[in-house]
Amino acid sequence: MMTKTTDFSLHLTSFLSRYLPGERGMSTHTISSYRYTFILFLNFMEQRKKTKATKLELVHITRETIVEFLDWLQSERKCSAASGNVRLAALHSFFRFLQYQHPDRMEEWQKILSIKAKKHEKPAIGYLSIDGIKLLLEQPDTTVLKGRRDLALLALMYDCAVRVQEIIDMGPSSIRLDKPYTIKVVGKGNKSRIIPMMEESVIHIKRYIVENNLHEPHLRTSPLFFNSRREKLTRAGVNSILKKYVRIAYQKNPAVIIPAVSCHILRHSKAMHLLQAGVNLVYIRDFLGHESVQTTEIYARTDSKQKREAIEKAYVNVVNKEVPEWIGNHDLLEWLKAFK
């Protein structure tokens, strides 16, 4: 007997397979994250609500259901508030989509959309100093092919402040190797941006491209960085490469390298170094591919904190701490009369 297709399954399939990649231009990474949110939601509905995925209808979903799901994530799966907010963002996107696909339940969708993200303490942005970056980039063994690939990869990630997925998706055709040196990056929402490359990085990239024959026309669409099978690197693969050299650098000089350096910290580091060099936030926004300068302002706030800490360390007290006698006297007039 054939199982009846539910309205929930129809709309969810359309949302994930057509709306997000087609109309919204979402990256495969974002769509994968959204998909996992609904896997968790289906597990919750089966465990807590005794409703199997094959029977789930839109009418079963209310504001109370979503709130209970978010509480379940925190209590049963030990998700942090930040993780819960990521799941809520995915759900909000789906129910905004449903407002146009299923307007007869608009009131309920708007109730769900009114659920606010939980406040949580955002960790301070971690980043490496210039000395830390220099030490890290000294670690790849450039006498071997893999070491030269790793140096080109890490140097490009830092100099162009690219996201992991952005560098994974790059091909040789993304790079312009004649002056002015630039790289075309396709970021979130399939939006592209052109980033200038510094000559020091170009030296490593050019050598890597020539060495691997990536300048040949038939290889221009192949992955720029690949593994031993000439397959595109994965996120886990790029992170593994970075962590390898972080461990070596940390052993050599723990004063300038933190042990938990992620690919995103390389991006943060470049942004902070641009800011400290006096580059305008608007240019940094475009360099990073942020939609709004408000997103980029987090670097300015972090830098202000660093400046305050430095000022406090260098502070020399020149103010007399002795409290004037009249401050402790509530009757200033009587004090003035008694003064001789």
Measured CA to CA in angstroms, residue 60 lies from 8, 46, 64, 144, 176 at distances of 9, 12, 10, 60, 54
pLDDT over threshold 80, residue 2: no
* Residue 305 CB coordination number (10 Å): 12
pLDDT at residue 297 tops 90: no
pLDDT tens digits, one per residue of 205-219 = 989 999 999 888 888
Element (H, E) at 65: helix 63-75
Rank 142-156, 270-284, 295-309 by mean pLDDT and report only the highest: 142-156
How far is C-alpha 264 from the chain's CA centre?
6
Give me the amino acid identity at 303. D
Pair 270, 158: CB distance under 8 Å: yes
**Is the entire prediction scored with pTM above 0.75?**
no
What is the side-by-side strand order in the sheet with 182-186?
175-176, 182-186, 192-196
DSSP state of 117: P
Of the chain, the end-to-end C-alpha distance in Å amounts to 107
User: What tens digit of pLDDT does each residue of 271-282 get?
Assistant: 888 888 887 777
Residue 264 bears catalytic tag: yes
* Reported CATH class of domain 7-113: mainly alpha
188, 207, 215, 235: which is the annotated catalytic residue? 188
Of 149, 204, 267, 270, which is the active-site residue?
267
Mean pLDDT on 261-280: 85
Catalytic residue (one of 24, 111, 207, 264) = 264
* 312 SS3 class: helix
Gap between the Cα atoms of 147 and 335, Å rounded: 79
Active site residue 290: yes
Determine contact, residues 228/150, Cβ cutoff 8 Å.
Answer: no
Annotate 270-298 with three-state secondary structure: HHHHHHHCCCCHHHHHHHHCCCCHHHHHH
Q: 67 and 82 in contact (C-beta within 8 Å)?
A: no
Q: What is the pLDDT of residues 23-76, one digit of tens each?
A: 888 878 789 999 999 999 999 999 999 999 999 999 999 999 999 999 999 999
SS3 50: coil
Identify the burial level of 39 via C-beta atoms within 10 angstroms of its C-beta, where 0-12 means exposed, 13-18 middle and 19 or more buried.
exposed
Paired residues of 184 in beta bridges: 194
> For the segment 187-244, what is each residue's pLDDT rounded down to a tens digit?
877 778 888 888 878 888 989 999 999 888 888 788 999 998 889 999 999 999 999 9
Q: Would the CATH topology of 7-113 be identical to that of 130-314?
A: no
Q: How far apart are CA 126 and CA 265, in angstroms?
A: 6
Catalytic: 163?
yes
CATH of domain 130-314: 1.10.443.10
What is the DSSP secondary structure assignment for residue 24, as one 8-state letter?
Answer: S
Q: Which of 163, 204, 273, 285 is catalytic?
A: 163
Q: In whole angstroms, give the CA distance from residue 242 to residue 153.
A: 9
The domain ranges of the chain are 7-113, 130-314
267 is a catalytic site residue: yes
- Mean model confidence pLDDT for the chain: 84
Residue 326 has pLDDT above 70, yes or no: no
